[in-house]
Amino acid sequence: MSSSSSIRSSDFSQGEMQFEHVFLFSNSYEKRNKFLSFMKLSKILFFTNYNRLIVPGWELIELIPLIFLLPTSKNCIQLESSIIETKSTGILWFIKKLILKNIGHAFPSGVLQTKILQQANYSGKIHLTKGVGIPSRTSSRAVKNFIVNNKLNYLYVGRVSEEKNLKYLVDKFNDNGKSLTIAGDGPLLNELRLSANPNISFLGYINNEELSVVYKEHDVFILPSYSEPWGLVIDEALWFGLPVVVSENVGCLEDLVINPVTGIVFKLNDQISFDNALSEIESSYAKYCRNVNSINFEARDEEQISAYRISDV
């Protein structure tokens, strides 16, 4: 859609696009002109002999009119949002169900995303992708040792903002004294720095190419988010060999945490649940490391790509 974003770093997406493509706008995605976007997309679709139109959920409102104008059999939707943050009542839910009635193929990223389709009584074809794209893996995979002589070092990587629930995380680590590193930038960074004890360190923004070093210096990845539609960073942490501790609102918890047993899920803002999660990850660290190390990333990537290989109707 656009060649840049005001909320994503320039190295968020790396590698060459080895397929025909065009950017509609040179300015940031968030500042695009939606009416102009609709007109440009309409022109492209009119002059293109395409097999499928894949829309990214409900995010691009300029695509919604096209969904009702184009053949249902060609309309596809990707779903990265989970049922957790989806309100299944009211006018917005009614509109979403109308949209889904005009969608022939749905590509939910995981279990919690598929539940949106089930809740809406979706009657089209469902193709589970088990991911939200192939991550840009610029560094070789890391394999963690099962035995850690010292105390575990915890790591958070991501935006330092309200929805990530980092105030709670800092409060808990202020109390327990365990080692925590927060890598990332955002509006709460200075406030959290002022409230944190010496056992908590802040790295600020780290280039994606340098993140591998940070991951390899830590033992457990932690994601306490209030809202996390999927959690691509979990895939990144697993690639670098880290077991994970995530909140119950992380969208990939069924697919990347619970089913492969790569970590622990805790209840939001529940002190006992949080403390038990840390105790479990520490007492059974070797087990979780083995499970993380046994992930076949190549097979997962191929399975995700294969989900989009659908035959013509």
Tens of pLDDT along the chain (313 residues)? Answer: 666 666 555 555 555 667 777 888 777 777 788 888 889 888 988 888 889 999 998 888 888 999 999 999 999 999 999 999 899 999 999 999 999 999 999 999 999 999 999 999 999 999 999 999 887 777 788 777 766 666 899 999 999 999 999 999 999 999 999 999 999 999 999 999 999 999 999 999 999 888 999 999 999 999 999 999 999 999 999 999 999 999 999 999 999 999 999 999 999 989 999 999 999 999 999 999 999 999 999 999 999 999 999 865 4
Please, what sign has the CA dihedral across residues 176, 181, 185, 189? positive
Q: Are 218 and 181 in contact (CB under 8 A)?
A: yes
State how many domains the chain has.
Answer: 2
Is 29 within a domain?
A: yes
For residues 258-281, one letter each, b for 16 or more C-beta atoms within 10 angstroms of the residue's C-beta and e for the rest, the string is eebebbbbbeeeeeeebeebbebb
Nearest to 200 by CA among 254, 153, 131, 255: 153
Cβ atoms within 10 Å, residue 246: 27
Nearest-5° Cα angle at 84, 263 to 161: 75
Q: Are 13 and 137 in contact (CB under 8 A)?
A: no
* φ and ψ at residue 26, rounded to 5 degrees: -95, -20
Is 311 within a domain?
A: no
Is 142 within a domain?
A: no
Domain coverage including residue 258: 153-296
Structure tokens at 18: 């080895």
Is 147 within a domain?
A: no
Q: Is 126 in the same domain as 162?
A: no
Q: Is 19 left (phi over 0), alpha (psi -120 to 50) or beta?
A: beta
pTM of the model: 0.88
Q: Is 118 in the same domain as 10?
A: yes
CATH number of residue 273's parent domain: 3.40.50.2000
Is 144 within a domain?
A: no
For residue 265, the cross-strand partners are: 246
* φ and ψ at residue 246, rounded to 5 degrees: -130, 155
Q: Are 224 and 165 in contact (CB under 8 A)?
A: yes
Q: Is 10 in the same domain as 123?
A: yes
Q: Is 19 in the same domain as 75?
A: yes
pLDDT of residue 313: 46
Q: Is 167 in the same domain as 236?
A: yes
Q: Is 55 in the same domain as 115?
A: yes
Q: Is 69 in the same domain as 196?
A: no
C-alpha dist (Å) from residue 254 to 129, 248, 303: 13, 10, 17
